[in-house]
Amino acid sequence: MKNNRALTFLFFISVSLTFVNCRSQEKDSLSYQTEVKTLKGAFEDKFYIGTTLNAWQIMGRQPEELKVATENFNSIVAENIMKSARIQPKEGEFNFELADEFVKIGEENNMHIHGHTLIWHSQAPDWFFVDKDGNTVSKEVLTQRMKDHIHTVVGRYKGRIHSWDVVNEAIEDDGNYRNSKFYQILGEDFIKLAFEFAHEADPEAQLYYNDYSMAMPGKRAGVVRMVEKLEKEGITVNGIGMQGHIGLNHPDIREFEKSLEAYGNLGKVMITELDLSVLPSPWGDAGAEISDNYEYEDKMNPFPNGLPADVEQQFTKRYVEFFELFLKHQDKIERVALWGVNDGNSWKNNWPVRGRTDYPLLFDRENNPKPVVKELIELAAAK
């Protein structure tokens, strides 16, 4: 009789412990789902997940969008306000008002802050390259102007801005150097000088080269060749920024991975300016040459009143495929940053065709997370 009672007692204890363990596992699962409900929570041990702030958001005129940014992302970059033409429109006259506010937002929200960009041909002020009479300046003058600009800007935020796009878009798609004003006056040395000056201004900042169409074999070879040469010359290049202006069918994700691996062999990689256009492309590739513009045609704007369900599914699938790739190579990736907070303020609505309605980001025009956000959070949890 005692043995039967003992067996019954042990059985009861065993069942109870099993029940408690199952409940505990269920509770842990529910707790995880409750705690990890944002992108930054899901990816916090993988890589920084970032977004881009425009001037209106930085000035506080779009508070709901700023709230989306600070609640869902742990890294920020400024879309335009830190480019040289904005921050030093006249020689020696710096405008730091919005840049200061941008950095303040990042610091108050404990965010990784990325600086964009120090040297870029497209939004550089004209005075960089000419004297008071309009004549092209000498190598010495342009070098000094670059040094003054970089030392002033990077020096102001030393220890506060964690990483910089030092040079932006200096390589053509075929791998040759872009024939910009910087290149015409200084040759390829302008890239070396820019990285030298940035490192002098803040030796602890992470310094990046950033460019578009980085999955193209020709550009890949050119960028690798350039960075390897700089490193042989003792120049600090901490990593490569791969602009992520992608579409439903371009670039080939296998080529993107080849580039990610190639750049990862040189240093850290950032996936920058990420957006996924669902609209037809005038040229059919992943280019992002900002000077390219095309006339509006209705056939180029097929979804003015909303995205069909089947296209939304393609959009979600494509984003998930790329984030699967990012997670696969998370040991190489420092940061993945979306180029905008919501669809309404994306540059893709007006480029390369002005006046279109695109849907390239993770939050819709009303600041609601799209279905893809839940998919990405669950994907991160599984990795």
- Residues of the chain with pLDDT > 90, as a percent, come to 85
Residue 140 falls in the annotated catalytic set: no
17, two tokens: 């412990």
Question: For residue 15, what pLDDT is reported?
Answer: 40
Q: What percent of the chain has pLDDT over 70?
A: 88
Of the candidates 325, 322, 358, 321, the one whose C-alpha atom is nearest the C-alpha of residue 342 is: 358
Look up tokens 């062999």; give the residue.
265
How confident is residue 283, by pLDDT bands cut at 50, 70 and 90? confident
Write down how long the chain is.
Answer: 383
3-state class of 214 per DSSP?
A: coil
Which pLDDT belongs to residue 295? 73
Q: Which of 65, 169, 196, 334 is catalytic?
A: 169
Is the CB of residue 169 less than 8 Å from the CB of residue 121?
A: yes
Name the strand (E) or helix (H) holding 215: none
Instruction: Please give the distance of CA 317 from its chain centroid, rounded to a whole number.
Output: 20
pLDDT in tens, 56-112: 999 999 999 999 999 999 999 999 999 999 999 999 999 999 999 999 999 999 999
Burial of 27 (0-12, 13-18, 19+ CB in 10 A): exposed
Instruction: Please tell me the distance from the alpha carbon of residue 255 to that of residue 252, in angstroms, as a whole number.
Output: 5
* Nearest by Cα to 365 from 307, 319, 311: 307
What helix, strand, coil percent values describe the chain, rounded to 5?
45, 15, 35
Q: How confident is the model at residue 26 (pLDDT cuts 50, 70, 90)?
A: very low
- Reference 88, options 101, 99, 77; nearest CA is 99
Q: Is 35 a catalytic residue?
A: no
Instruction: Tell which residue, 260, 277, 171, 173, has the closest CA to residue 216.
Output: 173
What single string gives the DSSP state of each residue in 127-154? GGGB-TTSPBPPHHHHHHHHHHHHHHHH
Q: What is the pLDDT of residues 250-278, one digit of tens each?
A: 999 999 999 999 999 999 999 999 999 99
pTM of the model: 0.89
**Would you list the domain boundaries of the chain?**
38-382
Q: How crowded is the C-beta side of 23, counted as CA atoms within 13 Å? A: 6
Give the residue, 164 or 6, on which the prediction is more confident. Answer: 164
Q: If residue 203 lies in a helix (H) or strand (E), which one and from where to where? A: none
Instruction: Kindly indicate the confidence band of residue 16, based on its pLDDT and cuts at 50, 70 and 90.
Output: very low
pLDDT at 24: 44
Pairing of strands 163-168, 206-211: parallel
Fold designation for 38-382: TIM Barrel (3.20.20)
Q: Residues 65, 79, 196, 273: which is the catalytic one? A: 273
